[in-house]
Amino acid sequence: MSQTVQQMLTCAGGILAGFALAAALLWRQQGALRTARYDATHDDVTGLPNRRLFLTRLRAALEDNTPVGVVLLDLDRFKAVNDTLGHEVGNDLLDQVGRRLASLPTPVRVAARLSGDEFALLIHGGREDTTAAAHAAWRAIAEDTVRVVNGDLRVTASVGYTYTRHANTSVRHLLTQADSAMYEAKRVDGGVREYLPHRTPTARSRDRHR
């Protein structure tokens, strides 16, 4: 083999090696970008969509000009679990509850953890669908004990929901309504409550979604 051919092969090999290195770096960068995007839109305890992604999906649903429902859930006496059993058990409980909510069937389109022990469901449907989803969520949490790292816990939730058929309804308006209904449920020791316009919102529900 001539020296010229050898030089050409060596040069080609170097180019191919450079392409391979560049491809590997690009693949790593793309993977890191996907991970960063996922982390920015998902909860690190449950793996569910977080508040940011939930609000994005809710806005998109409202823009589709179809009936939309929102269900908010707050675990009853969750602070006592953290205080008496520790944060590891509390996080395990949140994870198990998140799994149950994520497994709810259509018309539930998104199950999200907003913050703390508060979860949200996005419903594609009107009053009947939203009511059914709210009660299904309550049953999914309360009917069976939740297995955590050191045993089984009996858990209940306060659930509030609302719905709209109007595309011009704001995200904040829907969340405030569902929030008001949820805290009405909590005020009477849990259960499921629909938002009713004649009720006076609690102080917390007026302020939480500004």
Catalytic machinery residues: 117
Taking each continuous run of H as one helix and of E as one strand, the counts in the chain are 7, 7
87-102 vs 127-142: helix crossing angle, rounded to 10: 140
Residue that the structure tokens 């539930």 belong to: 108
CA distances from 44 to 2, 51, 188 (A): 60, 12, 32
Is the preceding peptide bond at 201 cis, omega within 30 degrees of 0? Answer: no
Which amino acid is it at 102?
Answer: A
| CB contact set of 102 (below 8 Å; sequence gap of 6+) | 48, 111
Q: What stretch of H or E contains 159?
A: strand 157-164
DSSP assigned state of 201? P
- What three-state secondary structure class fits 126? coil
